[in-house]
Amino acid sequence: MTTTHRRCVCPGSYDPVTMGHVDVITRAATLYDEVIVAVLHNSAKRGTFGVDERLKLLHTALATLSNVRIEAFSGQLLVDICREAGAQAIVKGLRGGTDLAYELPMAQMNRHLSGVETVFLPGDPRFGHVSSSLIKEVAALGGDITGLVPEGVRAALQSRTGNPKGI
Ligand code: PNS
């Protein structure tokens, strides 16, 4: 019997990582031998969090997952990242129809370019309303984001604003 090391890539901006991301990555880690969390960033744009801080927040949030590797990439096609990593699949979460409409052409393009498959996991309804951009908006305007982001992210947002709720 031959055994194959099954690897997938979970790509994203992770600016910052949310509990929705953590849920999808945790589930991917049960389906694959190894998960590469690929932080894709634009080197010309800083984003809200710099890439080093995004990586640090991800490392803390995913510390208990022994088969997860976290790496940053810039200026590369996702399919090339997958090929170089030896990954057979891209894993993404879908919160609903809007996500599907956004993700489907990317999945089809990636399959067209290299044959790599995209595996969609249904998002946990507890996090259906959670996105990095909404988290930042709610936090900036004084809302409570507890439980929607890892504790380190809440603390990082809090230290930027001085608001104890993570704002
Ligand atoms: O967290 P995000 O911002 O929704 O992540 C989007 C991301 C980075 C996964 C997406 O923009 C992407 O896959 N970029 C890679 C660039 C690429 O390969 N584009 C062409 C094929 S679709």
CA of 104 to the centre of ligand 1 (A): 12
The answer, as to whether pTM is greater than 0.75, is: yes
CA of 160 to the centre of ligand 1 (A): 27
CA of 53 to the centre of ligand 1 (A): 20
pLDDT of residue 133: 97
Mean predicted confidence (pLDDT) in 147-165: 86
Mean pLDDT for the chain overall:
94
Pocket test for ligand 1, best of 13, 17, 54 (most atoms within 8 A of CB): 13
In this prediction, residue 167 has a pLDDT band, given cuts at 50, 70 and 90, of: very low
Which residues are catalytic, by number?
21, 45, 95, 132
pLDDT of residue 101: 98
What helix, strand, coil percent values describe the chain, rounded to 5?
Answer: 45, 20, 35
Q: pLDDT by residue (tens digit) across 19-54?
A: 999 999 999 999 999 999 999 999 888 899 999 999
Residue 118 contacts by C-beta under 8 Å, 6 or more apart in sequence?
89, 90, 91, 92, 103, 106, 107, 110, 111
More confident residue, 127 or 162: 127
Residue nearest to atom 14 of ligand 1 (CA): 78
pLDDT of residue 4: 87
